[in-house]
Amino acid sequence: MPARLSPVRSRKLCDLVIQQIQEKISLGIFAPGAKIPTEPTLMAQLGVGRSTVREAIRVLVSAGLLEVRQGDGTYVLSRASGQEPLEYRLRRATAGEIREVRRIIEVETARLAASNRTELDLATMRECLARKKAAMTAGDTHGYVTADIAFHSAVAAASGNSLLADLYRSFCMVFQDFLDHLIADVGVNRFQDHIHNGLLDAITSQDAEAAARFAMEGLDHFTHDIKALEQ
């Protein structure tokens, strides 16, 4: 992969600049201890303004990935890869990586939720699905995605494993932007309502294997939507 960065065109320019620099660090193109391109070079390669580049550098310095040396330039910290916060790592994940992580997390989470759920957990899930349905009726894409993520987060919470629930919430903080984009381009997959209702019924009846099957089915439809977006 060349060291040159690609121009970005998005309303979230700073996030995309951060993502590109992180990727170069992760792949070793911007090696530990190496000096990254100068501010004017980054501006020219990325097609963004000075303020966007400076904000991205500031965020990456705060994250422990870069170090600014006054009068010298900006350098990759020697242990940057081990210090990268989970949220930043997730933000540069590919669609395929997101799909695989969802499969690993959500199927097992569904099994655990079926075994460990409480009545309060079930009430929360029902409320999330009701909000999702209302948002879809109103044509509120962001509200639909927010309710969808809240439902899956409620399933994770019902697993009884607080670490798993926290990991899933961190994942969803980043995943929401991706889903907003996916639904805006592909549209709502209405069969997901059937899947989510089936998942809730399986969790309610404490049928762990049925819950896992519905979770897998939902991910299969998600994969189909991803492929439609990539075409």
CATH code for the domain of 46: 1.10.10.10
Say what the pTM is: 0.66
**Do 220 and 106 lie in a common domain?**
yes
Judge whether 1 lies within some domain: no
Q: What pLDDT score does 204 carry?
A: 98
Domain stop point among 36, 60, 83? 83
**Do 140 and 79 lie in a common domain?**
no
Q: What pLDDT score does 41 carry?
A: 96
* Sites in the chain below the pLDDT cut of 70: 1-11, 79-85, 88, 92, 178, 180-191, 225-231
**CA atoms of 86 and 157, how far apart (whole Å):** 19
Q: What pLDDT score does 210 carry?
A: 98
Q: What pLDDT score does 179 carry?
A: 74
**Do 103 and 166 lie in a common domain?**
yes
Judge whether 28 lies within some domain: yes
Judge whether 8 lies within some domain: no
CB distance 151 to 128 below 8 Å: yes
Range of the domain at 29: 13-83
- Based on the structure, what is the number of domains in the chain? 2
C-alpha distances (whole Å) from 203 to each of 126, 195, 196 are 11, 12, 10
Q: What pLDDT score does 8 carry?
A: 44
